[in-house]
Amino acid sequence: MNYTIGQVAKLNSLTISQLRYYDKQGLLPFLKRTESGDRLFDEDALKFIDMILCLKNTGMPIKKIKQFVDWSMNGEETLHQRLDLMIQQEKNVLDQIKEMEENLKKIQRKILKYETEINESK
């Protein structure tokens, strides 16, 4: 099944402009086009876009995402580079999670402090 750019934008909570931007940045070289030049998205394209958004949402810069896409388009010869990139991104995400957990603990301590003060003042 093929999807239009509008359908893909809606499926991924994106704007059409964002998808066009990603295409202009070279992140969507796998897209097919109609005779009139409209972008066509198939199931494989949707899976690839999902991975691109995952990398973007976990803080990977567009330049590195483009490198991942380029390596992916080159096939099996780049598996080691892609694996290294994913291992580094996994480390980055784990670091982000650790930092967020530390921030959550600080917020929870502050909540407890305020609740205690409120209860003591009653």
Q: Where are the domains of the chain?
A: 5-94
What is the Cα–Cα distance from 16 to 50, expressed in whole angstroms?
A: 15
Evaluate if residue 121 carries a pLDDT over 90.
Answer: no
pLDDT in the model for residue 10? 97
Beta bridge mates, 33: 39
With a CB cutoff of 8 Å and minimum separation 6, the contacts of 5 are 16, 19, 20, 38, 39, 41
Which stretch of DSSP H or E encloses residue 73? helix 62-73
What is the rounded average pLDDT of the residues 88-106?
98
Q: How far is it, in rounded angstroms, from Cα 31 to Cα 38?
A: 10
User: How far is residue 75's CA from residue 72's CA, in Å, rounded to a whole number?
Assistant: 6
pLDDT at position 122 over 90: no
Would you say residue 40 has pLDDT above 90?
yes
pTM of the predicted structure, to 2 decimals: 0.84
CATH value of 5-94 in 3.30.360.10, 1.10.260.40, 3.40.50.10860, 1.10.1660.10? 1.10.1660.10
Summarize the confidence of residues 40-51 as an average pLDDT: 95
Model pLDDT, residue 42: 94
Percentage of the residues of the chain whose pLDDT score is greater than 90: 94
Distance CA 13, CA 28 (A): 17
Q: What's the pLDDT score for residue 98? A: 98
Angle CA(105)–CA(107)–CA(93) in degrees, nearest 5?
Answer: 55
Q: How far apart are alpha carbons 7 and 108 in whole angstroms?
A: 41
Give bridge partners of residue 39 from the DSSP assignment. 33
pLDDT at res. 67: 97
